Amino acid sequence: MKARVRLPDRKSRVTLTEVAELAGVSEITVSRVLRSKGPIAEATRDRVMEAVRAVGYVPNKIAGSLASADSNLFGVVLPSLSNIVFPEVLQGIHAGLARTGIQPVVGVTDYNLETEEALVRSLLAWKPAAMIITGSEHTAATRKMLVESGIRIAELMDIDPVPIDIAVGLSHRQAGYDTGKHLIARGYRRFGYAGLDPRSDIRARIRFEGLVAALSDAGLSLQDKVLADVPSSTLVGSATTARLLAENPNLDVVVYPNDDMAVGGVFHCMGAGISVPENLAIFGFNGLDIGRALPKPLSTVRSNRFRIGQTAVEQILETSIRPDRPTVVNTGYEIFEGATA
Amino acid sequence: MKARVRLPDRKSRVTLTEVAELAGVSEITVSRVLRSKGPIAEATRDRVMEAVRAVGYVPNKIAGSLASADSNLFGVVLPSLSNIVFPEVLQGIHAGLARTGIQPVVGVTDYNLETEEALVRSLLAWKPAAMIITGSEHTAATRKMLVESGIRIAELMDIDPVPIDIAVGLSHRQAGYDTGKHLIARGYRRFGYAGLDPRSDIRARIRFEGLVAALSDAGLSLQDKVLADVPSSTLVGSATTARLLAENPNLDVVVYPNDDMAVGGVFHCMGAGISVPENLAIFGFNGLDIGRALPKPLSTVRSNRFRIGQTAVEQILETSIRPDRPTVVNTGYEIFEGATA
DNA sequence: CTGTTAGCGCATTCAG
DNA sequence: CTGAATGCGCTAACAG
């Protein structure tokens, strides 16, 4: 179902020509005044601006972009908006874009690579000046389109794979590994994991692998894991924790793919009379506000989503020419001790 | 600082003309095939599609839109992305837009009406097929631009004021009033309010007024309120609650502008050994996941942000002609009893 | 079923 | 400092 909406005539009536006639100058002069380009006599400028206001002229960027082969649109592709992490990235993008006159066109893939491909194709059709996309896992066709577009491409969140052009994020494998090392150092030995379907969140899977590697390097192994095949939420965190503990009452720490679920774990313990961290330690990922506000602040890994978005924009604006070698920006992370582990 | 980025030539090389030549047909035929418009011979279509793939043609919507006076962009103006409510609205918008081929161009105002004006001007320049904007409070210039654009305009969240074209949301005054009535019916008498600077969130202010009106109609009055002049967060909820209770230890219920802050209130009570709702009742607004996941589910008013966004899109797609009389869609709300009040 | 003609609204040359 | 001519890439309208 294609919805093509014919624009009303009313607005499209007012064009440069009309403004030009009213101001008694040529179209190009009006154009120059509006874009503050080239030398313009003070008097001319005033007359033009007056005419612009008089007729309520709104420039047509569609025409402008076609004529100049310029665009001030950025394509932005996110897997989801329900995971708070991505709105935060989007915030960072908006912050980076503020006062550049560039607008983001936002698409959501629902973690589906086919959807992503269709989205990229459709965003590319707007000839965006750059493309910001999540992750490095794409279909071959998506990759090809991105590469051949020639525009700057920023791939966000993960810096482990080699990017097409720019990667901004952190090493999720390392973060997972460090989580394991940290918890082992604090004396925990019987690890459980309450997570999600590994197909849905690739980066969570990579962190998980890092965690397992750390355990293995310490001669330990994960005692058990429970995976829910639904979107992440605090409620799911409670539920998976309950299931995990039912079968493994002797665990001394549970690791979660994110703070939402970890907070759910904390809530479960509150309700079940399990004292945290004495009876059970809880460890999340992200460093969300909600975790910090808990009576006992959640132990977690702080990433910085806002900064990822903002940095991506900064990197892109650095130069419009794609360099020969990829750029990788590590925005890092930080283990936050908190009080739950 | 205007960032104009020249598009690389590489991509713009491939145009309809090239595809047409390769397929041995005219440009318009290629155009028709790509848009599935008009009758096309099976054989022709195949040859064209093959040529399209061969050269990796990506249509240029900028040119297409200019030629057809069509656009499949929607302008979307939100006050913020840090308040989870607006990403949820955006989700609804994306859901409504799925498989229409329409993309949203998103702007964020930071609750600033001047910023909003600049944003609207700049979004309108892309000749969007419609505009979705938050609230009904705009500068005169913004209003004028929206009215004169002739396109469909949806104003979201609040349905109390008369909209330019379409309003989708709920009556915040009524929601505030009902909150008061509900809590009074449950026996609470000594009301406190822990909120935010009323200038930042207009709808929270209106709910507050409704609450006060309900109290007044019942012969009661608000005992005290504490307002924080910072963005909403769970942490701020804890802090304002602490301040409010320090000066009013006898309160029996505290109402909050939103669930984030109310959850902060619950956390404060947990930490301070105040039992909820026996010693103090807590009441929020929104119906967020986090509130439902608490060991004692948060008492609150459930609005439906996703549905607001989705409904707005549906209303807009209904017809591209702005009707003579405004449309108002009440997405409603629901008092959720929960266990904290 | 396909092609021809014309032009969308603007910005980029190049002249003056 | 300003203007005239030309074309961006595509599609509507009309032919055939």
Long-range contacts from B93-99, C-beta under 8 angstroms, 24+ separation? B93/B132, B93/B309, B93/B310, B93/B312, B93/B313, B94/A81, B94/A106, B94/A107, B94/A108, B94/B309, B95/B306, B95/B309, B95/B310, B95/B313, B96/B309, B96/B310, B96/B311, B96/B312, B96/B313, B96/B314, B96/B317, B97/B313, B99/A1
Q: Which among B4, B90, B238 is the nearest to A293, CB-wise?
A: B238
Q: Percent of chain B having pLDDT more than 90? A: 87
Strand D closer than 7 A to residue A25 Cβ: yes
Q: Please tell me the predicted confidence (pLDDT) of residue B96.
A: 97
Q: What is the pLDDT of residues B130-146, one digit of tens each?
A: 999 999 999 999 999 99
Overall average pLDDT of the A79-96 stretch: 94
Nearest nucleotide (C1') to alpha carbon of A67? D8
The yes-or-no verdict on residue A192 having pLDDT over 70 is yes
Q: Considering the entire predicted model, what is its pTM?
A: 0.91
Q: Please tell me the predicted confidence (pLDDT) of residue A62.
A: 95
Q: Please tell me the predicted confidence (pLDDT) of residue B176.
A: 98
Distance in angstroms (rounded) separating the CA atoms of residues A73 and B104: 11
CATH 3.40.50.2300 domain residues, chain A? 68-171+305-333, 172-302
Q: How confident is the model at residue A199 (pLDDT cuts 50, 70, 90)?
A: confident
Question: From the CA of A99, how many Å to the nearest CA of chain B?
Answer: 7
Q: What is the pLDDT of residues A142-178, one digit of tens each?
A: 999 999 999 999 999 999 999 999 999 999 999 999 9
The yes-or-no verdict on residue B308 having pLDDT over 50 is yes
Closest chain A residue by Cα to residue B100: A2
Distance in angstroms (rounded) separating the CA atoms of residues A147 and B187: 65
The yes-or-no verdict on residue B1 having pLDDT over 50 is no
pLDDT averaged over every residue in chain B = 93
CATH architecture classification, A172-302: 3-Layer(aba) Sandwich (3.40)
Q: How confident is the model at residue A5 (pLDDT cuts 50, 70, 90)?
A: very low
pLDDT averaged over every residue in chain A = 93
Question: In B, which residues are within 8 Å of A91 by CB distance?
Answer: 81-82, 108
N-term to C-term CA, chain A: 52
User: Which residues are paired to A330 by β-bridges?
Assistant: A169
Domain B68-171+305-333, classified CATH 3.40.50.720, yes or no = no
CA distances to A331, B85, B132 from A168, rounded to whole Å, are: 7, 27, 31
DSSP conformation class of B299: B
Q: What is the pLDDT of residues B207-240, one digit of tens each?
A: 999 999 999 999 999 999 999 999 889 999 999 9
Closest chain B residue by Cα to residue A120: B58
Q: Please tell me the predicted confidence (pLDDT) of residue B201.
A: 84
Overall average pLDDT of the B21-41 stretch: 92
B148–A10 C-beta distance less than 8 A: yes
B285: Cβ contacts below 8 Å, ≥ 6 apart:
B175, B179, B204, B207, B256, B257, B258, B259, B262, B300, B301, B303
Q: Which among B63, B125, B290 is the nearest to A234, CB-wise?
A: B290
A283: Cβ contacts below 8 Å, ≥ 6 apart:
A179, A183, A253, A254, A255, A256, A262, A299, A300, A340, A341
User: Ramachandran region of residue B334, left (φ > 0), alpha (ψ -120 to 50) or beta?
Assistant: beta
Q: Please tell me the predicted confidence (pLDDT) of residue B13.
A: 72
Question: In B, which residues are within 8 Å of A290 by CB distance?
Answer: 234, 263, 290
Question: In B, which residues are within 8 Å of A103 by CB distance?
Answer: 105-107, 122-123, 126
CA distances to B32, B209, B243 from B236, rounded to whole Å, are: 57, 21, 11
Neighbours of A172 (CB within 10 A): 25
Question: In B, which residues are within 8 Å of A232 by CB distance?
Answer: none
Nearest residue (Cα to C1') for D12?
A: B68
Lowest mean pLDDT among A234-248, B12-26, B62-76: B12-26
A11–B149 C-beta distance less than 8 A: yes
- Asked if residue B144 lies in contact with residue B116, where contact means CB atoms within 8 angstroms, the answer is no
User: Which residues are paired to B43 by β-bridges?
Assistant: none
